[in-house]
Chains A and B, each alone.
Chain A
Amino acid sequence: MEDARECLGEGVLKHLNVLEVEALALSGRQQLCLQQQSRVDDLRIMVEKLRAHRDMLKARAKTNMSLQHLKAVADQRNVDCNEDDINAGGSSRTAQSQLSFLVARRTQVKDLLQAHHFIGGYDVTETGRGKGVYISIATAFEGLYLETYNLELDLGHVVQICRHNIPPFIPLEKLAQVHLQTDLMDFLSALSDHLNAFAGRRQQVCLIQEVLLGSVEVMESNVLFNTIVLMCKDAGENGRAILCTLEYSDLSRYLPTKVTIESEDQDLPSTPWWKESQSLLLCTPAHKAFQALKMKGLIA
């Protein structure tokens, strides 16, 4: 107040001027302070982030190391771990042996699955107090599991199929007439061949549509996938269209029995490299054969 009175004597405007200067200085200091604070906060967050990242990488490295170690051990002596192993050792040891137990179990299950496929690969369940069995047939193509088909058999005086989910274009009735009463294993293996071949042919068409998108086009196919017409373009400048018809007269195989190549250019199918590709198509799955042709630069 004293100041104010003095200042008043000197004039109101000057006093206001002083106040303005002071206020400006104060706000400047405040802003600086705030900036520093927020910078500190930012840095702190950054530190936390980096720390978390470091921990994650550390953990990943550790699991990788231990997995490699375990793999080496498992490979060396084909581990057959018991559950007792889990309880042995300290806490880190327990975690490790648990992991090794899981890895060993996985290999075991894989081996079992393989063995299962060696002996025929059918899942059989008893139904109706032993009056019937239920069989499932898995299909696969190039190591990839596809649909599983099921059928329920009635084991009376005559073996009968009572229920199934096999599509109607698979000649189930014909196969049943030939094998069902005499040899169940023959019947199942013939049926499995048909189903696997069908799944394989369908998968090839799917793969062509997926992998060779834009270079090979599926023009025509049917529910059984036993006639497939494909169109591709010659790699030459004029890009002549080539029509390739694959016919599968043996329905229990996924490879074609007849390959026809047609083109606008009459001479093209008889050129040596197309003759070669024709025989390639006869012995290789279609998607692989066309990929090879593309690599060789025969088709665009």
Chain B
Amino acid sequence: MDDSAKQVLRKIIRRIPSNKLQNILSKWEHLSKKQFRSLEFTQAKWLLCDNLLSLCEENDLSMKHVTELEMIYRIENPAQGSWNVCQLIDPSEEAVTVDSLTFKDSFKAHLKHLISHVSVKMKKHEDNAIWIRIAWGDNFTQPNHLNPTYVVHHLQTPYVFVSGLTAKHKPFLHQALIPSTHYGGLKDVHLSGRCLTALRDLLMRQYKQAFPVKHPRLLQEKSPVPSHPNIETEHAKHTEKRLQMAAEAFGEGILPKLETAVYKLETRFRENGMPGRREEPFRGVVKFSSSNLLESLKNCVSSGMASAPVTPLLSSITQKGRNYFVITDKGPGVSHTQGRKI
């Protein structure tokens, strides 16, 4: 085990919280059962780390194995750092038949052809997602294993989830992904967030959507003695309508967890309905943030704080699957549908 591998292992162990360390190491499969049992997880981390390092020396492990450990940790805890979503476009006929083995080989070959010093590791997760860990280097330096890029892709779907990618390496990733998935191009979906599963659920439409129903469900009566039956029914109707609208716009049950939504305004300033004298566009950014944005917005609508039906600006988050919008003067339709039409 060389010094750089040791250093990387130390940093990785430092990043993993103590309470998760035992579980992660048990999944690593590079320590014998006896060795694993000899580790004491109640010890201080640096001491534990020293013991672990000596075990790694004993087993003659290398950087390859160390990166595997980091990958296991990241797969188990994907909600770290921000994830961006890209969409593959123009699929060719072969796109639906790519299997994971050919994809792996082809992706690696393409990337190594583009850039010489790069370390790629791939793993197929239980839910059929392929996790790719890329440590980038350049012509003169070894791959940097401390800031790897993570890519998650479900074959046969057009979505690619990327975390920790710098602008410098973006073209390399795109050029390797496009041919190995048999698509024609890759574009940004303008959706980002910390929770990977939420982004996936939103785009794969795995969250519970509400659709209009032929036989609306009755709202359960909350108070047993209505103050006035007419008022009650009137209110109940309104509440029901509001709740249905809110559910149709954002979904039912547990909603995907998004943290932010950004609206960039590039409109001209208008005075009394007249186009402003100033030709300069009026620039502004409106940013909504919350620990669970969709839940907050839904609550605003269902409690009556925001008017229903929900403005397309807000309902576009779920329907178009993006949380970054640019609003220009040509009418909201143009810039909105820039992303995905369906």
Chain A interface residues toward B at CB < 8 A: 123, 125, 127, 134, 136, 150, 152, 161-169, 172-173, 176, 220-224, 226-227, 247, 249, 251
Nearest 6 interchain pairs by C-beta: A224-B156, A150-B211, A165-B205, A169-B156, A165-B209, A134-B212
Determine the chain B residues whose CB is within 8 A of the CB of A166 once the complex forms.
205
- A136-B211, A168-B158, A173-B342 as given contacts; A226 in contact with B128, CB under 8 Å: no
- A150-B209, A223-B154, A249-B97 as given contacts; A168 in contact with B204, CB under 8 Å: yes
- A127-B212, A226-B156 as given contacts; A247 in contact with B204, CB under 8 Å: no
Question: B155 to A176, Cβ gap below 8 A?
Answer: no
Whether B40 is near chain A, meaning CB under 8 Å from some CB there, is no
Whether B203 is near chain A, meaning CB under 8 Å from some CB there, is yes
- A222-B128, A226-B156 as given contacts; A167 in contact with B205, CB under 8 Å: yes
A37 to B100, CA, bound (A): 78
Return B201 CB to nearest CB of chain A, in Å. 11
Determine the chain B residues whose CB is within 8 A of the CB of A173 once the complex forms.
341-342
A224 to B157, CA, bound (A): 9
Question: B155 to A226, Cβ gap below 8 A?
Answer: no
Determine the chain A residues whose CB is within 8 A of the CB of B99 once the complex forms.
220, 222, 227
A172 to B205, CA, bound (A): 13
Whether B159 is near chain A, meaning CB under 8 Å from some CB there, is yes
Determine the chain A residues whose CB is within 8 A of the CB of B319 once the complex forms.
162-163
- A150-B209, A173-B342, A222-B128 as given contacts; A123 in contact with B214, CB under 8 Å: yes
A162 to B203, CA, bound (A): 15
Question: B157 to A223, Cβ gap below 8 A?
Answer: yes
Question: B155 to A223, Cβ gap below 8 A?
Answer: yes
Tell me the nearest residue of chain A to B124, going by C-beta.
A220
Tell me the nearest residue of chain A to B309, going by C-beta.
A128
Q: Can you list 23 residue pairs at the A/B interface with Cβ under 8 Å? A: A125-B213, A125-B214, A134-B212, A136-B211, A150-B211, A152-B211, A162-B319, A163-B319, A164-B205, A167-B157, A167-B204, A167-B205, A167-B206, A168-B159, A169-B96, A172-B342, A176-B342, A221-B128, A222-B128, A223-B154, A223-B157, A224-B156, A226-B96
Determine the chain B residues whose CB is within 8 A of the CB of A163 once the complex forms.
209, 211, 248, 319
Question: A223 to B128, Cβ gap below 8 A?
Answer: yes
Tell me the nearest residue of chain B to A161, going by C-beta.
B342
Interface of chain B: mostly helix, strand, loop or mixed: loop
Return A114 CB to nearest CB of chain B, in Å. 19
From A125, A134, A164, A251, B342 is in contact (CB under 8 Å) with A164
A74 to B230, CA, bound (A): 45
> Please, what's the 1-or-0 string for B184-211, where 1 marks a CB less than 8 Å from any CB in chain A?
0000000000000000000111100101
Number of B interface residues in the complex (CB < 8 A) = 24
From B156, B214, B341, B342, A222 is in contact (CB under 8 Å) with B156
Return A192 CB to nearest CB of chain B, in Å. 17
Determine the chain B residues whose CB is within 8 A of the CB of A249 once the complex forms.
97
Determine the chain A residues whose CB is within 8 A of the CB of B212 once the complex forms.
125, 127, 134, 152
Return B215 CB to nearest CB of chain A, in Å. 10
Tell me the nearest residue of chain A to B208, going by C-beta.
A165
Question: A169 to B157, Cβ gap below 8 A?
Answer: yes
Question: A247 to B97, Cβ gap below 8 A?
Answer: yes
Determine the chain B residues whose CB is within 8 A of the CB of A164 once the complex forms.
205, 342
> Please, what's the 1-or-0 string for B144-184, where 1 marks a CB less than 8 Å from any CB in chain A?
00000000001111110000000000000000000000000
A167 to B202, CA, bound (A): 10
A249 to B95, CA, bound (A): 11
Determine the chain A residues whose CB is within 8 A of the CB of B100 once the complex forms.
220, 222
- 12 additional contacts (CB under 8 A) given A165-B211, A173-B341: A163-B211, A163-B319, A167-B206, A168-B205, A169-B154, A220-B99, A222-B128, A222-B156, A223-B154, A223-B156, A224-B156, A227-B99
> Of residues B97, B159, B319, which shows the largest number of chain A Cβ atoms within 10 Å of its Cβ?
B97
A185 to B326, CA, bound (A): 37
> Of residues A127, A152, A172, A222, which shows the largest number of chain B Cβ atoms within 10 Å of its Cβ?
A222
A12 to B154, CA, bound (A): 102
Determine the chain A residues whose CB is within 8 A of the CB of B128 once the complex forms.
221-223
Determine the chain A residues whose CB is within 8 A of the CB of B213 once the complex forms.
125
Determine the chain B residues whose CB is within 8 A of the CB of A165 once the complex forms.
205, 209, 211
Return B99 CB to nearest CB of chain A, in Å. 5
A288 to B214, CA, bound (A): 38
Question: B205 to A134, Cβ gap below 8 A?
Answer: no
Return B340 CB to nearest CB of chain A, in Å. 9
Tell me the nearest residue of chain A to B210, going by C-beta.
A150
Question: A224 to B96, Cβ gap below 8 A?
Answer: yes
A166 to B157, CA, bound (A): 12
A169 to B88, CA, bound (A): 12
Return A134 CB to nearest CB of chain B, in Å. 5
Determine the chain B residues whose CB is within 8 A of the CB of A162 once the complex forms.
319
Chain B, 80-139, CB within 8 A of any chain A CB: 96-97, 99-100, 128
Determine the chain B residues whose CB is within 8 A of the CB of A134 once the complex forms.
211-212
Return B242 CB to nearest CB of chain A, in Å. 16
Return A210 CB to nearest CB of chain B, in Å. 18
Return B46 CB to nearest CB of chain A, in Å. 42
Return A206 CB to nearest CB of chain B, in Å. 14
Question: B155 to A222, Cβ gap below 8 A?
Answer: yes
A220 to B100, CA, bound (A): 9
Question: B211 to A227, Cβ gap below 8 A?
Answer: no
Determine the chain A residues whose CB is within 8 A of the CB of B206 once the complex forms.
167
Return B36 CB to nearest CB of chain A, in Å. 28
> Please, what's the 1-or-0 string for B311-342, where 1 marks a CB less than 8 Å from any CB in chain A?
00000000100000000000000000000011
> Of residues A127, A134, A165, A249, which shows the largest number of chain B Cβ atoms within 10 Å of its Cβ?
A165
A176 to B342, CA, bound (A): 10
A162 to B342, CA, bound (A): 7
Tell me the nearest residue of chain A to B319, going by C-beta.
A163
Return A194 CB to nearest CB of chain B, in Å. 11
